[in-house]
Amino acid sequence: MRVPNNRVATRSAAGSARSALIALTASVGTAGLAAAAARPGLLALVDQHAAAVRDSLDGDRRPLTVAALAGYAEGVRAAAIEHGWQPSGEPTDWSAPDWLHTRLLAVCALARALDPRHLA
């Protein structure tokens, strides 16, 4: 039995998006969400950023998806790199995170809410 091409592409795209969010969670989300759980101010900031991400993705009118969140995170990272940002080899200082890390952490929080088993 042959699988139609559009189903293979959809599965591949979904798998790629999930992999991107898993990588983001490993690099930013795990430590950041643990810090947010211990710091009410950071948690409030992440919630504000999550609301802005939801708004940007029209999340009030259609459900958020793993693909939409992965695409958003990639766009944010690409724009940051275009403006001179370079990834640091150092762990993020969650006591005073920059806008970029806070926004990416918000994406991780939204992704975890969508798929807690695979993005935890």
The pLDDT tens digits of the residues spanning 49-60 come to 999 999 999 877
Cα 78 to chain center, whole Å?
13
Domains in the chain: boundaries: 5-114
Q: Count Cβ atoms below 10 Å from residue 48 Cβ, excluding itself.
A: 12
To 5 degrees, how large is the angle CA 91–CA 73–CA 27? Answer: 25
According to DSSP, residue 23 is labeled H
Average pLDDT for the chain: 87
The pTM score is 0.84
pLDDT at residue 118 above 70? no
pLDDT at residue 2 above 50? no
Give residue 117's pLDDT: 67
The pLDDT tens digits of the residues spanning 55-83 come to 999 877 888 999 999 999 999 999 999 99
| Integer Cα distance of 12 and 32 in angstroms | 28
